[in-house]
Structure 1
Amino acid sequence: MPLRIRSEHRPAALQRAMLPEVVADEAIAIVDADGRILHWSKGCERLFGWPADAAVGQHKRTLLHSRENGVVPPWPSARAMRRLNERCRDGHVLATIETVQPVGERAGGRVRAIWIGTDECVSGNAPWGASSPILTDPHQRAVIRSQTGLFDYDRWSGTIGWIDHQWQALPVPVGRVPLDRLCGVMDDPAALRRAVADAAADRRPLLTFECDLRLHQMRRRRVEAAAHMIYAQDGTLARMVGRYRDISEQHVRDNRRRRQRDDLHHILNSVPDAFLVTDAAGVILSANAAAGQLLEREPDALAGCDVAAVIGVQPAELPRLASAESPRPLAVAHADGQVINIELRVVLPDRSGEPSYALFIRDISDQVADAERMDLLRMEFVRTSQASALGAFAAQLTHEINQPLTALANFLGSAEVMLRKGGPVDRIADVLAMATGQALRAGSIVQRHFQRTVGAEPDMQPIDIAALVEEAVLLALPGNAGLDIALTYDLDDDARTIWGDRVQILQVLTNVLRNAAQALRRVDQSHRAILISARRRAAGDMIELLIADNGPGFTPALLPHLFEPLHDRCNDDRGGEAVGMGLGLSICRWMIAAHGGQIDAFNQPGGGACIRLTLPTPVTAGGHGEMHIRTENGAA
């Protein structure tokens, strides 16, 4: 494992004889030769309650009332460790373990670094006394619990003083030893020496690094260390004081997580579908290579983006999409304006903590293009079939009606000749009667063909509106026809039953719903909606059934001719897609009229089209209906 070096540049004015900021959480102080506090760490503040601005400049022994067996201990001239009773700011007496390490010289005497620990084995952290337990190495036990050790490197002597915090198997004795001896158990000591030399050349105050140490029996440990670099008056490095800690388990965990993350990243990049991970706020956390290719962005550039800006899905929609049974089709625009069609499936992983969403995206542009081509072919086929059927219908009707019309013309011609010649009135009357018979015959032929087209006489019976609407939706929008239309029903309790032919009314509803779905193709997929409502008229004799959509509505050119047969609507249909001859709605008009009802169409004030069917109730059935067309926002 290569040595990892991190260093920090700071102005020379900040280079003081104190431990680096990375060890500020430890209870560490630095005092001068007289014991006056020069540095007071955050750990000392938490342990004793005295803030740094109140502690710096005070005598440590006086500030904390330090006592060893009831006596104020003297300051040692070399490295030493003591068990003391020291008083906190609130008056509480604390049993502490004080390690004093000389770290350099200053005018007036030697500067000392003090590491202060507490032994939690002492019940209630009571002061040291005659009844206190005897610990073989209380300082080391306290250091073990903190997972931290200290070291002091003296450049002039080439020695390093250190405390082994948990590696009794390390083949180097605890205390002060030559630096070369410690470097002998390091994997890459030359790299550390170069790092120290570079930092000293730049007069950096702080150096942090990680390295591997070789223990007995082929054991290895990973160490993280941080050192404050102290310079002499001539600018050369004099000492390094810092702390180190064992990060072996953490290092193993980090490597394991890194390998798992790399494996997962490799797996996701091999998936052909695009894949995004977002948090609950809709911020993209990661993306695979397929997502970058589909959305024409680098995967790393997608991280941190709002999913609404990338694929148009609002964060509030993610929970609903995660519970949906089928994927949602969407249209996404690239930066260059190109629009692609995608299919989105959202999954909510089953895990604790902050929810995140996995978005699986599939490019369905080719399928949509194929479906559109099939729709065009289908509509062209329907148009051709309609024209062919209309031609056959017209040919048959012409053939059958030609005979009575020819006979009618002959009879009328004969009557005209007889009138001019002054023929007998009785004879003329007989000829005109025969002409009348042929005219009635022609009418019956037309009526018979119409009944063959629209069906026989209505089979009137009570019809449940809810069941009829449900069946019409299944026929007109099987599986929602892939359009993602939000269907809403608003059926009043007093408008549940109508009187009519179930097959014919079903045919009318199916035709109207198909037209509405066709018009909604030009509406954004996330906002397509159809409302089916039923209500009883104020008079109470008729039921109004309304089918409203939020599409583009009827064009002014189409609306007056909506129910006219054979009206060319290729250029003026409301969606610009549905083409035909108008036979469907014209037949719907005759079917509703045969029920004694009405059918009308209008544009809603808020946008969208509405078809209204007015049908009789079982009590008021009868009569003949008629058609009304509204031209402007429902106005007759």
Structure 2
Amino acid sequence: MWPLTAVAYFFLVIGFGATILLPRLAPFLLAIPLLIAVCALAEGLVRISLGIDTLLFADQVSLLPAGNPGRPEVNSIVTLGLLGLALLTAARRSHAATELATLFASTAFCFGLASVALLLLVTPSHEKALRFFIGPLPGSLTTITLSMAFLLWRHRAGWIALLANRPVRKPVVWLLLPVVIALPILPTVIARWGATPESIVYPESDLLAALANVTIIGLLIWVSVDRLANQQAALREITTALDVAAIALTKPDGEITHWSRGCEQLYGWSAAEAIGRKKDDLLHSRWAQGGDGDRPSPSGSTERELVETRRDQAEISVLERTHVLDRADREPLLVVKMLDISDRVRAETALRESEARLAIAAEAQQLGVSHWDIASGRLEWSPGSEQRLGLTPGSLATFAQWEALIEPADTQGIMASVARAAANHDKRISFQYRFRGANGVMRTIEGSARCLYDSAGTLTTVIAANIDVTERKEREAAQQLRSIIDTVPDATIVIDEAGMIRSFSAAAERMFGIDSDAAIGCNIKLLMPDAVAAAHDDSIARYLVTGERHAIGSTRELTARRADGSLFPIEMNVGEARLGEERIFTGVIRDVSDRLAAEQRLNELNAELAHIGRQSAMSELAADLAHELNQPLSAAANFLAAARMLIERGENGAQVADLLRMGEEQTLRSGQIVRRLRDFLTKRDSELRPESLGLVVREAVALVLFGTARYDVRLSYRLDPAADMIFADRIQVQQVIVNLLRNAVEAMRDQPRSTREIVIASRPVEGDMVEISVTDSGPGLPDALSKNLCSRFATSKGGTAMGVGLSISVRIVEAHGGSLVAENRHGRGAVFRFTLPTFGEIGA
């Protein structure tokens, strides 16, 4: 093979690969072998050398004896052109281009096969004309290989597709195929093979060779025609059989290309009228009610239910199945098969209407029909039953799933009823059970069931009608609640999560002056002062989100508003409950105006009594106070007299200043005694605030024990600094301490002077409280007094003692949240203990 021919075949192979992998690059690569072939052909026709045959290996080519060494031969030029055109034509995606490309490749294959056969059987020098068909052996083999590769690549087009049919796929046919291809050239080869240079070729031999060729070709044509006739007969039988069915062939856009007799009978349109028109336009196709688009079938086709119109304007329901038939390098064909399902659709429609009426009736009665197969445990429900219970369909498919949502006690009752029915062969049973839905809401179900038995008398099936009676039970419960509310003497109001009034009792009508019809449906803020109403909705919303209770379960004292706008104090208890799936809040309200007025009057009387008690205590201490005030006042008078004398004598001014300072101090001391006495005796309202316990105690001691020297009483303090700050009314606490100190001094009056001792101590105790104790060394408390500390006019003193001091002290301590107790010591004397809140508790 000449060098330039090899280059052309090389780029032809590369172009073939690019046609498959890189179609855009293929034309540039294929242009090279085509250009070489065109140039070589032009040089051969015009007999002018363009020099392309000496482009490669010019020195070596010039030594060869041939006329045009290096230039492609005629066979190579033809095969290069055919294969190049086949590859370029194959790039086009039309059917005609594919068929033309197959023809080019097949022709190239024949040239290559003939070239190899003639090269092996005939001497080229004896026949100049045969050189047209004979090419170099490497080029011929490359041509055969490339053309076979192309034909296998495009095996669905041309004569290769015929060989792919099943009747051809037989070993005998494959064996005969080369023989059939070679038969037409055998006579000529034999005639030429037997000829010698000296032999004379007679015309009769050429005639016999031609006759043999004609006979062989005629035989091949007869075999082909017979095969085609048999195939057409078989195809005609299949077409006639299929033509009975309603089958149409359409293009992808719906244009009808074939219309069977079955379609003519189904729709009334003839083939001549239907072919060429759009199927959906011709039949006015539309989706059937409830159609859900194309549904793939197991065969890969699509299926849809349509309503179509016949030629006589009658509508029919059709089940249409469409299969896509792919065709090589041509647009696909749609095979559409139509099945008349009008009768089935009418039956299904009637059944659906019947089921819809039954479902409406079941929904109206909240009825669910269940079918329990005892042996398998399978449980079936009528449509909509599970949804009405708040469940997804299929969630109660077994008896175990149903049992898991029923109260255990109710399950036991139902199973006991079923067991009794099975034992007695009862036909019907009744039941009631509580069912917990998916959202956690409890529902009440009741109904009756029909029991079915087999031939042996064994219970096999239970068919039950289940009725949701939750709303009826709720109405009954609401009526009972209304009856109870109306009998409660206190006002009772029921509200929902939005704060809207749902129930308003008769007592509430009288309390607020609002009729129940006007109140129900209004927001509860109608009954609140503006300051409280502004935060009410936020309080409910916060509770629904966080679940933190502030008002529920506790008694609260609030202010309410009547219909006339007047405000009054109330005491309210709030409870929470569920009415079916709804959450409600119940408030029991009591008007405490009279009670608060009585308490206020009692507090005023207690304050008056405490004031009287303080005055009584001071009246008893008047002499001691006079003695105590006499000392600083006398001292002040003496200091002032001495100062006056020094001034008259003209003494040193420093001494006069000292005397005046000491007189001022004694005067201030007298003023402090008078101030403490005034504060103690002043009648005022209670005022709680942080106070120092040590300071409060010492001021109280100063009011009582300023004259302890006269009684020979030893006073000791054991105050804990860690519990010094209290939250209390200073004057009231001092009144308690004064009463306890006076009682202690009076109790020790008849005791030996050496044993008279009072100890005031404090210590922290649990609950953020501080305990103050006053201990004396007296004779102790009588049993009657220790048991009646809270009783008024209880006293161990004689004479004119009123007996209200301890009673007042007990109430003062309890008003501060503490308690006061008294007990006798193990040795001698008594101890009084009372508790007060520390400032840390109130501050928290």
- Asked which structure has the greater RCO (Cα within 8 Å, sep 6+), the reply is 1
Flag the structure with larger Rg. Answer: 2
TM over 0.5: no
Q: TM-score, normalised to structure 2's length?
A: 0.25
Larger % of helix: which? 2
